[in-house]
Amino acid sequence: MKNKQFFGLGIGLSSVIMIFVVLCLTTLAVLAYFCGKADTRLTSKKAEYSISYQKSDLKAREVLSEVDGVLLELAKNEKSLDEFDSLYEGEVEVLRESDTITYNVKINDSIDLFVNLQVNEKDGLVNKEKRYAIKQWKTVNKGYDLSDENLDLWDPNK
């Protein structure tokens, strides 16, 4: 009798290929899960920032309305801008230097909404028709002050 030799793949090679495919699919599934989780966190942070910005923008517009009311009163009574500080009684601190008015509204711990107004004066009095112009309305990063912290940097002498 002749011995026939049959060379086939057998059970071992197909099992190894199947294990490899299952490991690849499991790895892809875990990566997809973590990407989805990261996207969810990023989306919630963006939503929180957007809500905070909208609230701060509304507050800045309310302060602008209060400032405009004081400027209107000064214009009607034909008073100079020097009397602004005695008439303004808002809860947000408003700084006045010569013919500019600035204020900040907090968005979050590291970002403020900065507003800069140019007051229009005519002969030393506030203009009745166009009382102010908005020069800047922008977000400003507060930054971090590292001057008080002792940073342990690499020292080549050690």
CA distances for 83 relative to 68, 125, 153, angstroms: 14, 11, 53
Per-residue pLDDT, 136? 93
CA distances for 99 relative to 1, 18, 120, angstroms: 113, 77, 7
| C-alpha to C-alpha distance for 71 and 90, rounded to whole angstroms | 13
143: left (phi over 0), alpha (psi -120 to 50) or beta: left
The tokens for 15 are: 């099992």
The tokens for 110 are: 């590291």
Per-residue pLDDT, 151? 62
- The full set of domain ranges for the chain reads 34-141
Q: What is the DSSP letter of 83?
A: G
Q: What is the pLDDT along the chain (158 residues), one digit of tens a residue?
A: 566 666 655 678 888 999 999 999 999 999 999 999 999 999 999 999 999 999 999 999 999 999 999 889 888 888 888 888 888 887 888 888 888 999 999 999 889 999 999 998 887 788 888 889 999 999 999 876 555 566 666 777 76
The tokens for 75 are: 């214009």
Per-residue pLDDT, 105? 94
Under 8 Å between Cβ of 102 and 117: yes
User: Cα 132 to the chain's mean position, in Å?
Assistant: 27
Place of tokens 């966190």: 41
Strands annotated E in the chain: 94-97, 100-106, 111-119, 121-122, 125-126, 132-141
